[in-house]
């Protein structure tokens, strides 16, 4: 039974140390002290982001670790990665991250873990760490003008648009891509909202704040149809400022 929890914001959500979204993710493992691996590839293994991860996923709530691929210290990353209950992917440059994963063989390792029916792994992350589990999405990987990323790992059918409430370009480029068929029907969330999938099937959206933004978005007869998704409101600590880009 594998899970995906895809969130709108990456760094900004990680900075919310007491956000109940983190506890929701950890509880999906069914373990008292799950092993959590942080992949900060999308920011080039930025040190501050790794430190932020350890501040949020501290040793009191889980067993945290990280894997750097730009300064790789392990020969056998497959055995290492397979030992974790949660794979947490940071935000940043989605396209560059996927390219590095492919070069290092991590993409195939993650696909194998997803396909393992005996696994109870939780795959999660925000922004780039949310887009990567889908077939495609919107990204600023190629510069300040947003573009479409037509390929992800494909664990989940469809497309993903994070930062739907935070960046003006996100909605129009997502709509155009759905209308012209560049992206298949998908999902859009605000910075603080997350989508939970189990074995590839949508379970619920979750939000630590009232008035959540979690939508299914599709093109129907040449027009865009947005449908609100069922959402569980978690007890939270209030809204945050606009988050970082994917």
Rounded CA-CA distance 156/189 in Å is 16
Contact 193/213 with Cβ under 8 angstroms? yes
Rounded CA-CA distance 6/9 in Å is 9
- Residues 20-38: tens digit of each pLDDT: 999 999 999 999 999 999 9
pLDDT at 246 over 80: no
Which of 52, 127, 194, 207 is labelled catalytic? Answer: 127
Of all residues in the chain, what percent carry a pLDDT higher than 70?
96
Which of 163, 175, 196, 245 is labelled catalytic? Answer: 163
What pLDDT, on a 0 to 100 scale, did the predictor assign at position 50?
Answer: 98
Which of 2, 37, 42, 5 shows the shortest CA–CA distance to 20? 5
Band of pLDDT at residue 236, cut at 50, 70 and 90: low
Average pLDDT estimate for 45-52: 98
- Residues 139-165: tens digit of each pLDDT: 989 988 889 998 899 999 999 999 998
Which of 172, 137, 158, 154 shows the shortest CA–CA distance to 245? 137
Which of 35, 2, 36, 196 shows the shortest CA–CA distance to 118? 2
Tokens 């664990």 identify what position?
155
What pLDDT, on a 0 to 100 scale, did the predictor assign at position 235?
Answer: 77
pLDDT at 95 over 80: yes
Band of pLDDT at residue 241, cut at 50, 70 and 90: very low
What pLDDT, on a 0 to 100 scale, did the predictor assign at position 226?
Answer: 96
Give me the chain's average pLDDT, please.
93
- Residues 183-201: tens digit of each pLDDT: 999 999 999 999 999 999 9
What pLDDT, on a 0 to 100 scale, did the predictor assign at position 168?
Answer: 85
Strands 223-228 vs 122-126: parallel, antiparallel or unpaired: unpaired
What pLDDT, on a 0 to 100 scale, did the predictor assign at position 144?
Answer: 85
pLDDT at 243 over 70: no
In the residue annotation, 127 being an active-site residue is answered as yes
What pLDDT, on a 0 to 100 scale, did the predictor assign at position 140?
Answer: 87
Which of 157, 134, 156 shows the shortest CA–CA distance to 148? 134
Band of pLDDT at residue 166, cut at 50, 70 and 90: confident
Contact 98/132 with Cβ under 8 angstroms? yes
Instruction: Provide the residue count of the chain.
Output: 246
What pLDDT, on a 0 to 100 scale, did the predictor assign at position 242?
Answer: 38
Helical axes 106-115 vs 94-104, angle rounded to 10°: 90
pLDDT at 126 over 90: yes
Contact 38/57 with Cβ under 8 angstroms? yes
Strand partners, 196: 5, 204
Tokens 């409430």 identify what position?
165
DSSP element (H, E) containing 69:
none
Average pLDDT estimate for 121-129: 98
- Residues 201-214: tens digit of each pLDDT: 999 999 999 999 99
Contact 185/158 with Cβ under 8 angstroms? yes
């Amino acid at each position: 039974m594998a899970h995906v929890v895809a969130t709108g914001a990456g760094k900004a959500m990680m900075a919310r140390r007491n956000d109940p979204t983190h506890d929701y993710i950890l509880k999906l493992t069914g373990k008292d002290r799950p092993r959590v691996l942080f992949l900060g590839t999308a920011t080039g293994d930025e040190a501050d982001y790794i430190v932020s991860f350890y501040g949020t996923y501290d040793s009191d709530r889980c067993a945290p670790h990280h894997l750097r691929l730009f300064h790789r210290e392990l020969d056998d990353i497959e055995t290492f990665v397979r030992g974790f209950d949660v794979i947490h992917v940071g935000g940043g440059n989605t396209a560059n991250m996927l390219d590095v994963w492919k070069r290092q063989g991590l993409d195939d390792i993650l696909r194998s873990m997803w396909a393992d029916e005996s696994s109870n792994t939780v795959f999660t992350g925000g922004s780039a760490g949310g887009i990567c589990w889908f077939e495609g999405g919107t990204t600023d990987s190629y510069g300040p003008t947003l573009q479409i990323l037509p390929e992800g790992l494909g664990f989940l059918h469809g497309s993903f648009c994070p930062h739907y409430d935070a960046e003006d370009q996100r909605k129009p480029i997502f709509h155009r891509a759905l209308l012209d068929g560049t992206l298949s029907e998908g999902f859009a969330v605000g910075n603080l909202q997350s989508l939970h999938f189990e074995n590839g099937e949508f379970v619920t959206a979750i939000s630590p704040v009232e008035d959540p933004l979690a939508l299914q978005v599709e093109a129907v007869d040449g027009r865009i149809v947005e449908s609100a998704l069922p959402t569980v409101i978690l007890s939270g600590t209030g809204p945050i400022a606009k988050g970082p880009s994917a």
